[in-house]
Structure 1
C-alpha cells in the first residue's frame, strides 16, 4: 500500500495539476471547438491577378535541417519544403488509394504479383530532362543499397523480388525490377499485399543524371540534396538560406500546366510569433497554427481558418530495447527501466488527456485511444477500451506490481527496492510545450513516480529526434508525434525491421498481426479491418507507447489566396499549380 506520506504528497500535487490546467484559462462552452466546425477548401474572394507570389510560414522553433529530397529526409519541416517543388508520381483519392490521375499510371497483375508503371510523356525535371523509368528505379536502387544512410528501407522494399540480395551486397541489381523502355518498368513482389495499392509503393523518383556519380553514402550530404535540389513539381528552388528560408519560382514546364503564381517564399516562423505574422500579413499560409491561440484569433478579418483531421497522433513512448544496425532489426532488452508493462500501463492511467485536449487545445486535439487515428475511419476502432484518467487505478497497479515507497520520501522505488528515476525527453515548440510536459511529470508524481525532464529542459526538434533515434541511454520515456502514412499498415513504425520503431518494441504476436495485415487474405477489407482491430487491442495491452491526443490541422489562409485546400491531391481536386492571389499585397487584419 502507499504510505501516508505519499498520499499527502499526491493531494498536494493534484492541487498543482489543477493550477497548471487552470493556467490555460477556464474554457467556456463556446471556447471548445470541433473539427466539424471547419471547411477543408477555402472560399475564394475576388478574381485572380496574373502572377504574384505568396509567403509560406514553416512553423518551427528550430532551423530546418535541409535534407531536401524524399529519399533522405527524416523530419517534417524538410518534407513541408520538398512538397512545394517535388511530388509523388502517383496521386491518391480520399480513401488513400492510388489513382490514375498522377504523373504516372499503373497496371496491376495480381496473378504475377507485379505492377507496371508508366510515366507520362510530358513529365520533366526542373532542368528540362525527362523523368524516366531509370530515375524511378534509381531511387529503389539507392534506398536498397548497402551504403544507404537514410530511414526509408523497410518492408515496402524487402518484399520486392531480389531486393534483400541486393541490399546485402550479394547482387549488383534488383532482380524483381525490369525496365521496359524510357517511360515504363515493372516491379515483381515476393508477396502481393493490399498496401501496395496505397502507400506500399515508393512513388518518388531521383534524377539519375545528377546523382549517379555521387557515392550513395555521400548523397544525403551532397549539394544535390542540400544546396541545389531539383524536382518535378510546380515550383523550383531558386535560392536557399540554410535553416531559414527557401525561395521558389514557378516551373513553367510543370506537367499539369503552368502555375498561376510567379513563386513562393518559404521561411521559418517561430511558434511564438506565428499569430502576429498571420495578423500582419507577413505570411499567407502556415504549416500549422497553434490551436491554443485560436479562440483569441478566430475572428481575424484577414484570414479564413480551414481544418482537417490530421494523419497524426501525439504519444508517450517507452524505451524498451535497441536498434541492431547490422541485423537491421529491433532487439528488446528485458532489463530496460520501462520493461514492466504494469509500470507503463499505470503511467497511462495517471494522465488526463481529455482535459489536455480541451484546456490546451480548445477541443482541436482530443483524447486518443489507439494507434490508428480517425483519419483512417475504415480502420480506426473507437470501441476499444483504452485506459482513461484514473489515478486510483494507477496507484493500485503500481502497488500490486511491487513499486513501493520504501524510504518514505514520497517516491516509489522499483520492484527490487532501488531508487527509480525516469528520464523524460520532450520537445520544445510553442507556448504549450513546457506546461504540457510539466503537467505530465506532475501527474506521474501524483502517483509516486519520480519523472525528471531530460537535461532539465525541453529538447529542440532535431536534437530530440537524433537522441531518440540513437537510443540515447539517458532517455527512458519520450513525448513524440507521428504522421501516419496513406495506407493503414503500421509496420513502418512498429515492425521488427522498422528503423522508426523508436520504442524498440516487438514480439511474435505483433509480427504475426503486422504480417496478416498485408497478406493476400487482407485484400478482403473486412478481414483486414479485423486484423488491425486485434493489433490496436494488442498495443493497448502491451503499451510500448500510448497515444495522448489526436489532432486537427488548423490553417489560416489569407483572404487574397485563391484555390487552396488542406491537402493538394485528387481527394480535393485542387493542386498547387492552381494557387493564385487576388491582389499583390497580403491582407492585414483590421
Structure 2
C-alpha cells in the first residue's frame, strides 16, 4: 500500500534544521510522556463464542515458517503463539517458574535441569504428548543437517551435544530420559542465566511422531512447518492464506481449559492503515505504531495498553563474517568500520533524544545501553551513553586522522582515501524513510558521507538475509532486538552467537561475558557488577549504537471483555470473551 510521507518528512526536515542549535528533547518536558495500563476490563454481557480478530501490523507478509525451531521473523511468532506452546512459564521478570506446561527443577551443584510434563495432554491430531517430544528438538537443532539458526552456545552446553553435532555420537549423552514424562538435562556449565526464560534451557517441544519421518535437512520447508501445523495450544490452525492470514478454531481439549472464543483470525495489516482499520472496527487487537500516537490517543472504540519493552533499536556496523564450520564470528579489523573513533563519532552525531520526542511523542527514549531499561536490575541507569554532540564527533574524527582534504565537505579516511558508507534500513511505517534520511544527514553534517544501500529502504526479509550474510554492500544498518526473557547479552553479542550480526569479537568481550556467565554471578551483587562492567566496555567499543528504548502499545477493542499484556500475565483464554458480534467502530 502507498505510504504517506509528507507529514513525517516535514518533521525530519524541521528536526534537521534545528539540530545545530538545540536539543529537541526539550519538546517533551519531564513527566509529559504518556503512561499506560497493562490490562483492561470492559463491562457487558458476553456472547457465546465468536471470532476474535487480531491484526498483525507489518509492512511485510508472513514468511510462513511456523515452528519455534526454525522461525527467524517476528510476524511468524504471532501465529506460532496461538497453536504451539513453550515448555516453561515465567514471572514478570522472566524468571522461569512452574506456571507453564512443565514443572522445572534447577540443580546448580549437579548442573542439571529436571523437566516434568503432565500426563494426558494430546496433540491436536489426538496423539499423546510425551517427554520424547521434549527430547526430539535437541536432536534436530543439534544435527549437522539442521537449517535453522538456533544451534549455539546454549545447545553446545548440553553434555554430549558437540559429539552428536560433529557426528562422533548417535545419542546426546546429557539427555537422561527418566520416564515418559520426565527428562533430566545435564550441562557442562550452569550459569545464572539458565533461570531465565530463553536463558540457556531449551523450551522447545515438538510432535516427534510427525517430524521423525521428515529428513532434518528438509524440515524447514516441509508441510509440517509451513501448512499442516500441529501443536497442543489453545487453538488449532484451520486455514492459511499464504503470507496474509491464518484462521484458528478452538481446541476443546486444551489442557488449561477450552477458550471461550470459537476461534481467532490473524491478518497482516500495513502500519500505514492500522489506525483507520481499528477506528473502523475491523479488528479487536493490534499493536500500534508509536509514531502515529497523536492520531489514536483519543480513540473512542478501543483502549490503548502499554508497557516498556524488552527491546531496543540500534545502528550496527558490518565488522566481519560468520564461520559456519567453527560456529563463531570472524572479526575483520581491516574494515573501515573497525575504526572505533568513526563508530563513536557516528553515535555522537545522532540526536536520539530528539528523535524520541519528535517522531515518537516521547514513547521512545534515548537508549543508554545494550541492556534494555525493562531489566531494571541490570540496565545501568547511571551510564550516560551517547547524546547529541556534533563538535565532539568532529573532534574524534580529526584526532583519528579523518580529515576533509579535498574540500568537498566530506572526510577522507586516515590514508587519505575518499569513502562512502552504505546504510541499510528496513521499510515499514510512516517514519521509516524520514528517520533513515535523518540519520544519513546527521552523519553527513559531521563530514561522513553515507548513502542508502541500493538507494532505497529494504523489505524486512531481504534486509535480514543480507545483514546476516554480512553483505559487502552494507557497512552500517539499522536493526532492532527483542532480548527475550534473559538480559544476558551473550546470545546477541557473544563470539559464538549467530545473532551477533556485527561480527564483533575481542578477548576482553569474551572475558566480560564469561564473568556474567560464571558461578560467581549467582551472587546478585557480583552479577550486577559484571553486567555494569560489560555495558561500560561495549558502549565504549560500540560495535552497535543503541538508539531507542520503547513503549509497546496495544489496542484492545471495547467488545473484548478483558485483556492483559503484562509480562507473566496469568489471564487465560477461557476468560477472554466477546461482548458483541463484531468489533465496535468509532
Same fold? TM cut 0.5: yes
- Partner residue, 2:228: 228
- SS of the equivalent of 1:258 reads coil
Please state how far the C-alpha of 1:33 moved relative to its aligned partner: 5.1
- Partner residue, 1:45: 43
- Partner residue, 2:162: 164
Q: 1:57 aligns with which of 51, 55, 60?
A: 55
Please state how far the C-alpha of 1:337 moved relative to its aligned partner: 2.2
Please state how far the C-alpha of 1:196 moved relative to its aligned partner: 1.4
- SS of the equivalent of 2:247 reads strand
- SS of the equivalent of 2:173 reads coil
Please state how far the C-alpha of 1:86 moved relative to its aligned partner: 1.1
- Partner residue, 1:90: 88
Counterpart-to-counterpart distance in 2, 1:99 and 1:134: 22
Please state how far the C-alpha of 1:547 moved relative to its aligned partner: 0.6
Matched, 1:241 2:238: no
Counterpart-to-counterpart distance in 2, 1:189 and 1:345: 39
- SS of the equivalent of 1:224 reads helix
- Partner residue, 1:340: 339
Counterpart-to-counterpart distance in 1, 2:262 and 2:357: 41
Contact preservation (8 Å) 2:28, 2:357: no
Matched, 1:462 2:422: no
Please state how far the C-alpha of 1:112 moved relative to its aligned partner: 1.6
- Partner residue, 1:109: 107
Moved more, 109-118 or 456-465: 109-118
Superposition pairs of residues 339-418 of structure 1, within 5 angstroms: 339-418=338-417
Counterpart-to-counterpart distance in 2, 1:546 and 1:312: 14
- SS of the equivalent of 1:393 reads helix
Q: 1:165 to 1:409 in 2, by over 3 A?
A: same
Please state how far the C-alpha of 1:154 moved relative to its aligned partner: 1.4
Contact preservation (8 Å) 1:20, 1:435: no
Counterpart-to-counterpart distance in 1, 2:29 and 2:271: 25
- Partner residue, 2:300: 301
- Partner residue, 2:5: none
- Partner residue, 1:271: 271
Please state how far the C-alpha of 1:94 moved relative to its aligned partner: 1.1
- Partner residue, 1:585: 582
- Partner residue, 2:8: none
Moved more, 575-584 or 226-235: 575-584
Superposition pairs of residues 158-557 of structure 1, within 5 angstroms: 158-198=156-196, 199=198, 200-286=200-286, 288-557=287-556
Counterpart-to-counterpart distance in 1, 2:88 and 2:558: 31
Counterpart-to-counterpart distance in 2, 1:521 and 1:129: 44
- Partner residue, 1:5: none
- Partner residue, 1:79: 77
Q: State TM-score, norm by structure 2.
A: 0.95
Contact preservation (8 Å) 2:85, 2:233: yes
Contact preservation (8 Å) 2:123, 2:232: yes
Please state how far the C-alpha of 1:26 moved relative to its aligned partner: 12
Counterpart-to-counterpart distance in 2, 1:313 and 1:15: 25
Q: 1:409 to 1:20 in 2, by over 3 A?
A: same
Q: State TM-score, norm by structure 1.
A: 0.94
Contact preservation (8 Å) 2:25, 2:354: no
Matched, 1:66 2:64: yes
- Partner residue, 2:571: 574
Please state how far the C-alpha of 1:414 moved relative to its aligned partner: 0.7
Contact preservation (8 Å) 2:55, 2:283: yes
Contact preservation (8 Å) 1:193, 1:523: yes
Counterpart-to-counterpart distance in 2, 1:456 and 1:107: 53
| Deviation sequence 1:80-126 (CA, Å, 0-9, x none) | 22111112111000121111121110222332211111101143211
Contact preservation (8 Å) 2:319, 2:335: yes
Counterpart-to-counterpart distance in 2, 1:410 and 1:15: 22
Counterpart-to-counterpart distance in 2, 1:536 and 1:357: 22
- RMSD over aligned CA atoms reads 2.0
User: Runs of 4+ in structure 1 displaced over 6 angstroms?
Assistant: 13-16, 19-22, 25-28
Counterpart-to-counterpart distance in 2, 1:558 and 1:105: 35
Counterpart-to-counterpart distance in 2, 1:290 and 1:310: 14
Please state how far the C-alpha of 1:30 moved relative to its aligned partner: 9.1
Please state how far the C-alpha of 1:492 moved relative to its aligned partner: 0.9
Q: 1:44 to 1:301 in 2, by over 3 A?
A: same
Q: Which sections of structure 1, spanning at least 5 residues, go unmatched? A: 1-12
Q: Which sections of structure 2, spanning at least 5 residues, go unmatched? A: 1-11
Counterpart-to-counterpart distance in 2, 1:32 and 1:379: 23
Please state how far the C-alpha of 1:16 moved relative to its aligned partner: 7.3
Counterpart-to-counterpart distance in 2, 1:448 and 1:429: 28
Q: 1:29 to 1:490 in 2, by over 3 A?
A: closer
- SS of the equivalent of 2:550 reads strand
Please state how far the C-alpha of 1:296 moved relative to its aligned partner: 2.4
Please state how far the C-alpha of 1:517 moved relative to its aligned partner: 1.1
Counterpart-to-counterpart distance in 2, 1:518 and 1:354: 33
Please state how far the C-alpha of 1:21 moved relative to its aligned partner: 12
| Deviation sequence 1:209-262 (CA, Å, 0-9, x none) | 000011111101100000111212101111101110000111111110010101
- SS of the equivalent of 1:538 reads helix
Please state how far the C-alpha of 1:358 moved relative to its aligned partner: 0.4
